[in-house]
Each structure stands twice: as structure tokens, then as C-alpha cells.
């Protein structure tokens, strides 16, 4: 029962308990979120120590993040290559098979082993270098052309090694807003991103 007069209202006991429970859950959720943010921040700051910095700035934190990204490439024995292209690009003559051959040739020239489908399945971590290109209409006669390259590897959850999955451990994206789609421009942007991957790979695996 709720008893009310001019001066006060007595809240029912069960309603008070409900409010208390909700408040407790909210506090716990905030604590978990803050803890997760702190853990991620600590990992970045630990990486920043590689640069001998006591008070890393935003710039150096970005450098630390790049450092962590390159560490995923250390000891990589090779990659399998996968390609997806927008049909409009293929209609202009740049086929998936042709682009894959070009990419694999560039990797081999840089000394990065290219894994066959069989070797890929037998390689620990199953590293896949995946090229993805897509086109979307933006309006006003413009289109958005996106090219991305990601290195996907099998990873395991630290708290339970029975839980694993394939995740992008290295990724670069190029987005252009253009009027006309040109296959030669798509190929150039893909190869530019491949060169970035090669540079990071060679930096992580010096000969």
C-alpha cells in the first residue's frame, strides 16, 4: 500500500527493492565497461613503452597501435590470396583471376610465400590475405568505391582456448567518391595497399 499526505509518500517495499536492483546492475555495467576500456588502454600504453615514452601523446598512441598491428605479422610463413570484385569492374576487363595473379606475383617478388589452397589449410592459423572491392551509389551522379585488404588469421580466446575464430589482424581501406568507375584505378589502389602490406610484413620479418 502507498500512504500519501501533504508532506510525504511512502514507496512500497517491493518497488524500492526493484529500484535498488536496477541501480546495482547499472553500477556493475559501468564498472565492467570502465574495466574493459582500461585493459585496452593498458595494452596500447604497454606497446608505447617500446618507443621509450612516459607520457605518450595521441600521435604516439597511434604509433603504438600500428606497432601492435605489425606484431601480428611476425613469423608469418605465407598467405593465401582471395579476391572479390564488383561486377562493374569485371565488365571493364579486370577479372578476379587476373587481379589475383597480379597480387600473388607482387608478393612473390617481395619474398612473401603465397600458399596454395592445400598449403593454406595445412598452415597453422590459416592466414588469408583478402582483397575486397565494392561500389555503392551516393547520389548526384557520384559513387563510392571502396577497396579493402585484410589479413585474416585464426585466433583463440585467452580465457578459453577451445573458442577460436578467424579475425582480421591487419587491415587497410581505401575509399574514393568518384563519378566514373575505372578498372585501372581500382587495380592501382589495390596494388598500393598490397605495397603497404609488403612493407609492414618485411618490417616485421627482416631477413
pLDDT, tens only, 68-96:
677 788 888 899 999 999 999 999 999 99
pLDDT digits (tens, 9 = 90+) for 113-139: 999 999 999 988 899 999 999 998 877
- pLDDT for position 46: 47
Question: Three-state SS string across the chain, please?
Answer: CCEECCCCEECCHHHHHHHHHHHHHHHHHHHHHHHHHHHHHHHHHHHHHHHCCCCCCHHHHHHHHHHHHHHCCCCCCCEEEEEECCHHHHHCCCCHHHHHHHHHHHHHHCCCCECCHHHHHHCCCCCEEEEEEEEEEEECCEEEEEEEEEEEEEEEECCEEEEEEEEEEEEEEEEEEECCCCHHHHHHHHHHHHHHHHHHHHHHCCC
Asked if residue 150 has pLDDT above 60, the reply is yes
Question: What percent of the chain is predicted at pLDDT more than 90?
Answer: 45
Query: pTM for the full model?
Result: 0.67
Confidence class for position 168, pLDDT limits 50, 70, 90? confident
pLDDT digits (tens, 9 = 90+) for 10-47: 334 443 444 344 444 444 443 433 333 343 344 444 45
Amino acid at each position: 500500500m502507498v500512504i500519501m499526505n501533504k508532506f510525504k509518500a511512502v514507496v512500497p517495499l517491493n518497488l524500492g527493492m526493484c529500484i535498488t536492483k536496477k541501480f546495482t546492475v547499472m553500477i556493475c555495467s559501468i564498472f565492467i565497461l570502465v574495466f574493459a576500456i582500461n585493459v585496452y588502454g593498458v595494452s596500447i600504453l604497454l606497446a608505447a613503452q617500446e618507443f621509450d615514452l612516459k607520457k605518450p601523446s595521441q600521435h604516439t598512441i597511434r604509433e603504438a597501435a600500428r606497432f601492435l598491428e605489425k606484431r601480428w605479422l611476425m613469423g608469418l610463413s605465407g598467405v593465401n590470396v582471395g579476391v572479390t570484385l564488383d561486377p562493374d569492374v569485371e565488365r571493364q576487363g579486370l577479372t578476379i583471376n587476373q587481379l589475383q595473379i597480379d597480387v600473388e606475383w607482387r608478393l612473390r617478388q617481395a619474398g612473401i610465400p603465397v600458399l596454395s589452397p592445400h598449403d593454406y589449410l595445412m598452415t597453422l592459423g590459416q592466414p588469408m590475405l583478402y582483397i575486397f572491392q565494392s561500389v555503392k551509389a551516393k547520389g548526384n551522379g557520384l559513387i563510392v568505391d571502396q577497396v579493402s585488404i585484410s589479413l585474416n588469421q585464426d585466433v583463440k580466446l585467452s580465457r578459453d582456448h577451445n573458442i577460436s575464430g578467424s579475425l582480421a589482424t591487419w587491415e587497410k581501406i581505401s575509399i574514393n567518391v568518384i563519378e566514373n568507375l575505372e578498372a585501372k584505378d581500382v587495380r592501382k589502389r589495390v596494388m598500393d595497399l598490397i605495397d603497404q602490406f609488403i612493407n609492414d610484413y618485411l618490417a616485421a620479418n627482416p631477413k
